[in-house]
Amino acid sequence: MRNVAIVGDGGHGKVIRELINARPDTRLTAVLDDKFRSFEAGKEWCTGPPEAISEVRRLVPDVLFLIAIGNNSVRKQLAERLGLKKEDFITLIHPTAIVSKSAVIGEGSVIMAGAIIQADARIGAHCIINTGAVAEHDNQISDYVHLSPRVTLSGAVVVQEGAHVGIGASVIPQLTIGAWSTVGAGSAVIRSIPDRVTAAGAPARIISSIQT
């Protein structure tokens, strides 16, 4: 049994808690969030601010961590703020997800219910592959990416760091979604998307730039 502490107690955190409960080999031991001002050892799990990592480790020495924040940039900020090592993070895969044996999933990433990861796909660190999303063969997905529910990436798509592909969007083969860009819900991407823009529509067109 692996003990898991999550950082984040919002909507995404609720789903992660259920994912942990759905697995027979994981147990939730702590929920850390900025809304908790002090560390408390509860009956079901501990609570406290994100900086309470040392307190959690004193109670559960073998605990692993996962950042349960849906916002990609906030997830990256927290990963840097916590100062944990790669081996301190757990990768979680829902029992109903289908993941190829040749796929590689990075630390701190989550593969949600009904998602499919095909042959030789590479998923980076701290990614969210959400409910029913499909990452086809040879996809290259960088760190801090979020594929929303029912996203479909065809073969050999590259998604660069921090990109967010909205619910139900589709991407044809061998395209690139640029770093920290957003693809709107239901979009059909037939051309590569550059860095730091919002693209939407069918076919998807750039509608704005994203300021740093």
Binding site: residue ranges? 70, 146, 167
Task: Tell me how far apart the alpha carbons of residues 193 and 125 are, in angstroms, rounded to a whole number.
Answer: 22
Task: Tell me how far apart the alpha carbons of residues 12 and 89 are, in angstroms, rounded to a whole number.
Answer: 17
Which residue intervals of the chain bear CATH 2.160.10.10?
A: 92-203
Residue 28 confidence (pLDDT) above 70: yes
SS3 83: coil
Cβ pair 117, 123 in contact under 8 A: yes
> What is the pLDDT, as a whole number, of residue 12?
97
Task: Tell me how far apart the alpha carbons of residues 142 and 2 are, in angstroms, rounded to a whole number.
Answer: 26
Architecture field, domain 92-203: 3 Solenoid (2.160)
Q: What count of Cα atoms within 13 Å lies in the side-chain half-sphere of residue 206? A: 13
Average pLDDT value for residue range 107-133: 98
Q: What count of Cα atoms within 13 Å lies in the side-chain half-sphere of residue 131? A: 7
Which residue intervals of the chain bear CATH 3.40.50.20?
A: 2-88
Report CA torsion sign: 17, 148, 128, 101. Answer: positive
Beta-bridged to residue 200, according to DSSP, are 205
Residue 196 confidence (pLDDT) above 90: yes
Q: 134-171: per-residue pLDDT in tens?
A: 999 999 999 999 999 999 999 999 999 999 999 999 99
Query: If you average pLDDT over every residue of the chain, what do you get?
Result: 96
> What is the pLDDT, as a whole number, of residue 210?
83
Residue written as tokens 């997830």?
75
Residue 211 confidence (pLDDT) above 90: no
What letter would DSSP give residue 137? T
The residue among 209, 210, 205, 178 whose CA lies nearest residue 190 is 205
121 phi and psi angles, rounded to 5 deg = -70, 150
Give residues with Cβ within 8 angstroms of 95, minimum separation 6: 22, 23
Binding site for acetyl-CoA: residue ranges? 146, 167
Residue 123 confidence (pLDDT) above 70: yes
Give me the catalytic one of 12, 126, 137, 164: 137
Average pLDDT value for residue range 25-51: 92
Fold of 2-88: Rossmann fold (3.40.50)
pLDDT tier, 212 (very low <50, low <70, confident <90, very high otherwise) = low
Active site residue 126: no
> What is the pLDDT, as a whole number, of residue 209?
93
